[in-house]
Chains A and B, each alone.
Chain A
Amino acid sequence: MTLGGLRAVFLAERAMLLRLLVARLGSVEEAEDALQDLWLKLETVTGGPIAEPVGYICRMANNIAVDRRRRAVRRVDRDTGWMETQSGADEQPDAERALIARERLARVEATLARLPDRVATAFRLYRFEDLPQKAIAERMGITVSGVEKLLHRAYLRIHVQRPDSGADVARAGRLPHEEDQRDGR
């Protein structure tokens, strides 16, 4: 898709993109800013066929919204005073971000360890190894909708229901082939 092609799609879908961004960001003004960002970012997309250009641009728009929301939330955290700002820098220092990220990953790992193996495996393949749901379905020998169900459970537990009580440990099911096995030596 050429830049011109993407721009044409953008212009045709502008109203819809604005609606999406207003709904995501909660203000028309900020949504207009984000739309401007999106227009500029189209230039950085070069080459190659895009199967679903509208979906593609919507994802770009939504990702811009996520970035803006994250920055806004970080600013609020700083303004409430628990963190010293660094000469107006928008980003947290790298070391600190890395520390937060590591803690986050450790929490996710701890949650995964308490989830049924199949749920944890689906999540790892999807989120850590970037496999598409279809490929996960093939690898795990289940349907794509089965994968979606497993991922749904994992996401609920990891992002929504934390902290986890661990009450379900005893209910954790395992695929037989994932159990340890000693065949001799």
Chain B
Amino acid sequence: MVDEWTGQTNVDAAADEAVAWLLRLPSAGAEEWRAFTDWLEADPAHGDAYDALARADAELDDALTPPDWSDTMPLAAANDDRAAPRRRWALAAFGGLAAAGIGVVMLPLETDRAMRIVETPSGVRRAVVLADGSRIELNGGTKLAIDDGAARLVTLERGEATFHVTHDAAHPFVVQSGTMRLEDVGTVFNVARVGPHLGVQVAEGAVMFQPEQERIMLTAGAALSHLDGEAPRLSGVAVGDVGGWRNGRLVFQRTPVRLVAAALERSTGVVVQVAPGLLETPFTGSIGVTGGADRLIPRAAALIGARAEQVDGRWRLVGGHAGP
């Protein structure tokens, strides 16, 4: 078997077929499972190949499950819109019942209405599905408090998240951050909090900013930037760029370098400081989050027109040239 990409000819045929099965089984029906069993029975090498692959893939679930996560994740969060053996980590409470492809199965609402805290370390992303089907993708360095009871209230304490909200006119979905509130009108939107700064970008539908006060309606393509104690500033954003971090692409439009640094930190998990003179310098452009921080940060610095210095494992962006 020749892998067209690598040109390697030594990929074991059984391993290759095992990968195909591993990718197909999450959405497989009865007939495919029968075919899978036939395949396993046809040759012991098939079973060995699949077994090794399935175990290696399950090891990865451990890696994606911070130890404190499974304790705070109620089962309702395992709701998903598709079959997913890799949701297993969310079901740790089942004693390893492997989530069995959640498929379109709706697990019951939790009776415990207490707020649960969902937190990601820098550099680690996560997705959470709420009981109502709304989905939240958390960037690294993010802390959310979720009340997915009747109130549908999520508090963004810090970091960044993209919300895919299942609209329900009777029960508005509210995102609170600091003293600011956002209410959805059926929506996909991204919210980022860095200290006193709140940024909101809307990809689909609409969000009401401060429904009890200013009542600013943000529709698809709108961006809002708000600094505590000041008036919000509105601008535009390409809809495809909203929550670009999810695809490893950070897009900025006249964004102060301190917020660019915070975005790099969330994505890489590496601390990125900024020299005082550079903090408010605006940057417009996009940065692909690829490769290790060792290459990424200097690349980003060059793009910003700065230099990156590394001291004791921390990166620092300093003024790089005398240009404009």
Q: B104 touching A49 by the CB < 8 A rule?
A: yes
Checking B16, B64, B282 against A185 with a beta-carbon cut-off of 8 angstroms, the contacting residue is B282
The residue among B16, B30, B282 with the most chain A CB atoms within 10 A of its own CB is B30
Interface residue A30 (Cβ < 8 Å from any Cβ of B):
no
Interface residue A14 (Cβ < 8 Å from any Cβ of B):
no
Interface residue A137 (Cβ < 8 Å from any Cβ of B):
no
Q: Which of B16-52 contact A (CB under 8 A)?
A: 16, 19-20, 22-23, 25-30, 32-34, 36-37, 40-41, 47, 50-52
Checking B64, B80, B287 against A105 with a beta-carbon cut-off of 8 angstroms, the contacting residue is B64
What's the interface size class on A, roughly? Answer: 35 or more
Interface residue A88 (Cβ < 8 Å from any Cβ of B):
no
How many pairs of residues, A versus B, come closer than 8 Å at their CB atoms? 241
Q: B104 touching A161 by the CB < 8 A rule?
A: no
Q: CB-nearest residue of chain A relative to B253?
A: A183
Q: With A62-B25, A121-B247 as given contacts, are A129 and B125 in contact (CB-CB < 8 Å)?
A: yes
Q: For the complex, give the distance between the alpha carbons of A62 and B25 in Å.
A: 10
Checking B41, B47, B99, B107 against A48 with a beta-carbon cut-off of 8 angstroms, the contacting residue is B107
Q: A153 touching B3 by the CB < 8 A rule?
A: yes
Q: For the complex, give the distance between the alpha carbons of A34 and B81 in Å.
A: 27
Checking B11, B36, B288, B305 against A161 with a beta-carbon cut-off of 8 angstroms, the contacting residue is B11
Q: A113 touching B291 by the CB < 8 A rule?
A: yes
- The distance from the CB of A134 to the nearest CB of chain B, in whole angstroms, is 8
Give the residues in chain A near B86, CB-CB below 8 Å: 127, 130
Checking A16, A64, A121, A182 against B34 with a beta-carbon cut-off of 8 angstroms, the contacting residue is A16
A8-21 to B contact mask, C-beta < 8 Å, 1/0: 00000100100110
8 chain-A/chain-B pairs, Cβ below 8 angstroms:
A46-B108, A52-B30, A55-B28, A69-B51, A70-B55, A102-B63, A160-B15, A181-B285
Q: For the complex, give the distance between the alpha carbons of A45 and B74 in Å.
A: 14
B101-132 to A contact mask, C-beta < 8 Å, 1/0: 10111111000000000000000010100000
Give the residues in chain B near A24, CB-CB below 8 Å: 40, 47, 50-51
- The distance from the CB of A69 to the nearest CB of chain B, in whole angstroms, is 6
Q: For the complex, give the distance between the alpha carbons of A151 and B290 in Å.
A: 18
Give the residues in chain A near B30, CB-CB below 8 Å: 13, 16, 52, 54-55, 58
Q: CB-nearest residue of chain A relative to B252?
A: A183
Checking B33, B285, B287 against A184 with a beta-carbon cut-off of 8 angstroms, the contacting residue is B285
- The distance from the CB of A180 to the nearest CB of chain B, in whole angstroms, is 5
Q: For the complex, give the distance between the alpha carbons of A160 and B307 in Å.
A: 40
Q: A98 touching B11 by the CB < 8 A rule?
A: no
Q: B63 touching A94 by the CB < 8 A rule?
A: no
Give the residues in chain A near B300, CB-CB below 8 Å: 180
B81-95 to A contact mask, C-beta < 8 Å, 1/0: 111111110000010
Q: With A54-B30, A58-B30 as given contacts, are A67 and B96 in contact (CB-CB < 8 Å)?
A: yes
Interface residue B147 (Cβ < 8 Å from any Cβ of A):
no
Q: For the complex, give the distance between the alpha carbons of A100 and B104 in Å.
A: 33
Interface residue A47 (Cβ < 8 Å from any Cβ of B):
yes
Interface residue B309 (Cβ < 8 Å from any Cβ of A):
no
Total contacting residues, chain B, CB less than 8 A: 89
- The distance from the CB of B163 to the nearest CB of chain A, in whole angstroms, is 14
A68-101 to B contact mask, C-beta < 8 Å, 1/0: 0110010000000000000000000010011011
Q: A63 touching B106 by the CB < 8 A rule?
A: no
Q: B106 touching A181 by the CB < 8 A rule?
A: no
Q: With A23-B37, A98-B67, A121-B248 as given contacts, are A159 and B108 in contact (CB-CB < 8 Å)?
A: no
Checking B36, B99, B288 against A179 with a beta-carbon cut-off of 8 angstroms, the contacting residue is B288
Q: For the complex, give the distance between the alpha carbons of A113 and B244 in Å.
A: 18
Q: For the complex, give the distance between the alpha carbons of A69 and B20 in Å.
A: 20
Q: A64 touching B67 by the CB < 8 A rule?
A: no
Interface residue B152 (Cβ < 8 Å from any Cβ of A):
no
Q: For the complex, give the distance between the alpha carbons of A117 and B57 in Å.
A: 21
- The distance from the CB of B132 to the nearest CB of chain A, in whole angstroms, is 13
Q: A182 touching B16 by the CB < 8 A rule?
A: no
- The distance from the CB of A54 to the nearest CB of chain B, in whole angstroms, is 4
Q: B305 touching A185 by the CB < 8 A rule?
A: yes
Q: Which of A117-162 contact B (CB under 8 A)?
A: 117, 119-121, 124-125, 127-134, 139, 148, 151-153, 155-157, 159-161
- The distance from the CB of B230 to the nearest CB of chain A, in whole angstroms, is 22
Q: B37 touching A20 by the CB < 8 A rule?
A: yes
| Complex A-B, nearest 6 residue pairs according to Cβ-Cβ distance, in ascending order | A63-B98, A48-B106, A60-B100, A23-B40, A105-B63, A132-B82
Q: A47 touching B107 by the CB < 8 A rule?
A: yes
Q: A178 touching B288 by the CB < 8 A rule?
A: yes
Q: B19 touching A155 by the CB < 8 A rule?
A: yes
Q: CB-nearest residue of chain A relative to B53?
A: A159
